[in-house]
Structure 1
Amino acid sequence: MDQLQSMRVFVKVAELGSFARAATHLDLSNAVVTRHVADLEGRLGTRLMHRTTRSLSMTEAGQVFLERAKQILEEIEDVEQMVSARTQEPVGTLRIAAPVVFGMHNLAPALQSFTQRYPRVVPDLTLVDRVIDLVDEGYDVGIAIAGTVRSASVVSRRLTTGCLVVCAAPEYLEKRGVVETPQGLTDHDCLTLSPSPTGDEYIFTGPHGEVRVRTRSVITTNNTEMLRQFTLQGMGIAVLPSYLVGNDLAHGRLVRLLPDYRLAPFDINVIYPSRRHMPAKLRTFIDHLVEHFSQTPNGMLGEKWLIDASPITSFVPPRRDDEVESAVRVYS
C-alpha cells in the first residue's frame, strides 16, 4: 500500500481516537483504514496502537512514530504548496505593515524592484510604531525588530541584522570634543529615545568586557527620525540604528564615536501568519525581501560595516561651513 497514505491514515486515526471516525473523515471504508494501519505496523515490525472494542490508545513506539509522522507530512505539504505557489501568477493587493523609520529609509527600493518584477501585485504599505496583530488587523505580512513581536502564532524569517551607532554632528564635537570611552558620555549632552527598553542606561561590549553607562539626557523623543534630526543639528550625542544614519556617516554629516565598543545588534525580521496555503503574492514578496536585503550594502545596515570602517581617533574642525566632509581625520 502507499506508505505516505498509510501515514496520513494513521495520524488521522490517532487524532480522532477512532478507526470509524477516521474512515468517515477520509471518505474511506473501515476495512481500508484498518489495512493501512496494519500495513504500517507490518513494515515497522511493531504494534503502534492498542485496540479494544471500546478504546484505542498509542503504544510507546506509536507515540514516537506519530510525532515524527506529523512533521514529515507537514513538510511534504509545505513543499507541495511552495511548488504550487510558484506556478501561479502573483496577483492582488498585498497589505504590509512596517516600523515607520525603517520603512521610510529602507523599503522604497525593495518595493520598487518587487512591483517591476510582479506588476499585478499592488503593495499597500502601512507604517506604524506599535505592536500589531497581523491576523486581526488584516495584514498579509509585517516587518518587525526582533523582540517586538509577542505572538507565538506568526512565522518569522530574518531579513538582516542591524547595529546601533554612537554618533554626533561635527559641530557638536568641535565645541565639546570626542568621547574616548563609554564613561565619557556622562560628561556630554545625550539625546535619547523615549520610551527606551533600557531607560537611560547603555551596555557596551569593549576590549575589557562589559561596560554599563547611565547618561544624562538633554532632550528625548519618541521618534527615531526626530532623534536623528536633533543630532544633525549638533544638539548632542545619540545612539542611532545603522540603517538610519549610514549615509550621514558616509558623507560626514555625522561622526561615529567609540569605535572599539559595541552595543547589542538586533535582527530585523519579516513576519507572516502561517506557512500553510500561502498565496503566490505573499511567498514571492517574502523571497524578494530576503534576496533584496542579502544584497544591501553593509554600510546601511550591518555590523560588518562597523568592522570594515576605519576607526575615528581624532577630530579636526572644518575650516569653512562647506568643508563638513573634511572635518573627520581618519587614521588607520
Structure 2
Amino acid sequence: MDRFAALNTFILVAHTGGFSAAARELGLATSSVARLIDALEEKIGAPLLNRSTRKVTLTEAGRAYYEKAVKILSDLEEADNTAAARSSEPAGLLRISAPVTFTNLHIAPLLPELTRLYPRLEFDMRLSDATVNLVDESIDVAIRIGAMEQQANLIARKLSMHERYICASPTYLAQHGRPVLPEDLMKHNCLQFAYAAGRQIWHLQSGARMEEVQVSGNLSVNNSETLRQAALRSMGIALLPDWLVHADIQAGNLIRLMEKYQVNPGAMDIGIYAVYQLNRRGSSKIKAFTDALSIALLDAQSSRNKHK
C-alpha cells in the first residue's frame, strides 16, 4: 500500500464526507477508494471512519489521525516547495482562496501574465466571500480583506491599504435626502454586507472622535458586487470598498457620502492580506503570486489617489 496515496485519499474522504465524492476528485472508482481506506484501517488496527448510507464521518481515532495526516502531507509539500525554490522557478499547483468580486477585478487579470512567466505553475481558485480554514480546505494562500488578527500558525502579509466608502445613487439621494451626520444614517435604508448574523454597526471616525451607528435596511448579502448593483439601482445606501466603486463615483453613478469620515463595520486598521501557513513561508509559488498581486494593487491604489 502506498501510504502517502492512502493518507491523501483518507483526507479527501474526510473532507468531502463520502467515498463517491472523493473518487470523483481523484479520478478513481469508488470501490478503489474504499479499498484504500480499508487497507489503511487494517494497517493501523483501528476504524477511522463511521460509514452510513448518507455520509461518512470521522471516528474519534479518525479525527486524531486526520490532524496528523494533514500535517504530514503539509510538511511534505513544504519540503518539496523549499527544494523547488532553491533549484527552479515556481511550479506546481497553487490553491488560492479569495473573495469572488475581488478575484474578478484584481486576480483574474494577473493570471495570463503569471502563466506566461511561470509556465509550470498551475492555479486552483476557490472563490468565496466566507473565511475558509486553510488546513481543512488544503489552501496554500488566502486573500482576506479587513482587520487581521495575528495567529501563531499563520503569516499575514499586508498587500495593500483598504478603504470603504459610504455611497448611494443620485436618484436615491434625490428621493430620500443626503445624510450629513452619522446619526442621519439611521433614517435611511442601509444595504448591508452579511458579515455575521445579528445587528449591523457602522463605525465612523473623524479625527479622534469615533461614533457607532446601528444601521438597518431591507437587503443583506454576502457578495459585494450584488451590494454594488443594489446601490446603483437606488435601493439604498451602501458601504463598499474603494477598489469596487471608484469608477462608479468618478462617472457620477454613485455619490460618495460623508467624506470626512473613515468608515468600517469593525476596526479601522484594515487592509488586503495574503494569509498562508507558517510552514509555507519558503514557497516560491506563493511569493510569485503575492508579489504580483501586491504590485497590481499598489498601482491601482496610486491611480485612484490621482483621481480623488
Q: CA deviation at 1:142?
A: 1.4
**Alignment-mate amino acid for residue 262 of structure 1:** Q
Shift of the 213–277 alpha-carbon distance from structure 1 to 2, 3 Å rule, reads: closer
Indicate if the aligned counterparts of 1:242 and 1:299 stay in contact, CA closer than 8 A: no
Indicate if the aligned counterparts of 2:98 and 2:143 stay in contact, CA closer than 8 A: yes
Q: CA deviation at 1:133?
A: 2.4
**Secondary structure, counterpart of 1:89 in structure 2:** coil
Q: CA deviation at 1:275?
A: 5.1
Structure 2 length normalisation: TM-score?
0.64
**Secondary structure, counterpart of 1:297 in structure 2:** helix
Number of the residue aligned with 2:203: 203
2:276 to 272, 276, 282: 272
Provide structure 2 residue ranges, at least 5 long, that are not aligned to the other structure: 1-80
Matched residues, number: 224
Number of the residue aligned with 2:245: 245
Deviates more, 1:145-154 or 1:103-112: 145-154
1:297 aligns with 2:301: yes
Indicate if the aligned counterparts of 1:88 and 1:280 stay in contact, CA closer than 8 A: no
User: Counterparts in 2 of 1:142-157, with a 5 A limit?
Assistant: 142-147=142-147, 152-157=152-157
Partner Cα distance (2:126, 2:280) in 1 = 24
**Secondary structure, counterpart of 1:217 in structure 2:** coil
Once the two structures are superposed, residues 48-91 of structure 1 have per-residue CA deviations (whole angstroms, 9 ceiling, x without a partner) of xxxxxxxxxxxxxxxxxxxxxxxxxxxxxxxxx98982651222
Number of the residue aligned with 1:97: 97
Indicate if the aligned counterparts of 1:163 and 1:265 stay in contact, CA closer than 8 A: no
Partner Cα distance (1:277, 1:145) in 2 = 20
Q: CA deviation at 1:208?
A: 7.2
Once the two structures are superposed, residues 93-138 of structure 1 have per-residue CA deviations (whole angstroms, 9 ceiling, x without a partner) of 2111112232222212232332232222121111023332223322
1:234 aligns with 2:234: yes
Partner Cα distance (2:255, 2:290) in 1 = 34
User: Counterparts in 2 of 1:21-100, with a 5 A limit?
Assistant: 85=85, 87-100=87-100
Deviates more, 1:257-266 or 1:286-295: 286-295
Structure 1 length normalisation: TM-score?
0.60
Partner Cα distance (2:170, 2:297) in 1 = 30
Q: CA deviation at 1:212?
A: 2.1
Indicate if the aligned counterparts of 1:131 and 1:148 stay in contact, CA closer than 8 A: no
Percent of pairs with identical residues: 33
Once the two structures are superposed, residues 244-303 of structure 1 have per-residue CA deviations (whole angstroms, 9 ceiling, x without a partner) of 212211222111000111112521111122356734323322322223323223466xxx
Once the two structures are superposed, residues 201-238 of structure 1 have per-residue CA deviations (whole angstroms, 9 ceiling, x without a partner) of 22211257222222231322232222111111101111
Provide structure 1 residue ranges, at least 5 long, that are not aligned to the other structure: 1-80, 310-332
Partner Cα distance (2:133, 2:123) in 1 = 19
**Secondary structure, counterpart of 1:260 in structure 2:** coil
Indicate if the aligned counterparts of 1:246 and 1:299 stay in contact, CA closer than 8 A: no
Shift of the 250–113 alpha-carbon distance from structure 1 to 2, 3 Å rule, reads: farther
1:288 to 282, 292, 298: 292
Q: CA deviation at 1:192?
A: 1.4
**Secondary structure, counterpart of 2:262 in structure 1:** coil
Partner Cα distance (1:111, 1:193) in 2 = 28
Larger-gyration structure (1/2): 1
Number of the residue aligned with 1:122: 122
Q: CA deviation at 1:149?
A: 6.8
Q: CA deviation at 1:198?
A: 8.5
Number of the residue aligned with 2:46: none
**Alignment-mate amino acid for residue 226 of structure 1:** T
Number of the residue aligned with 2:12: none
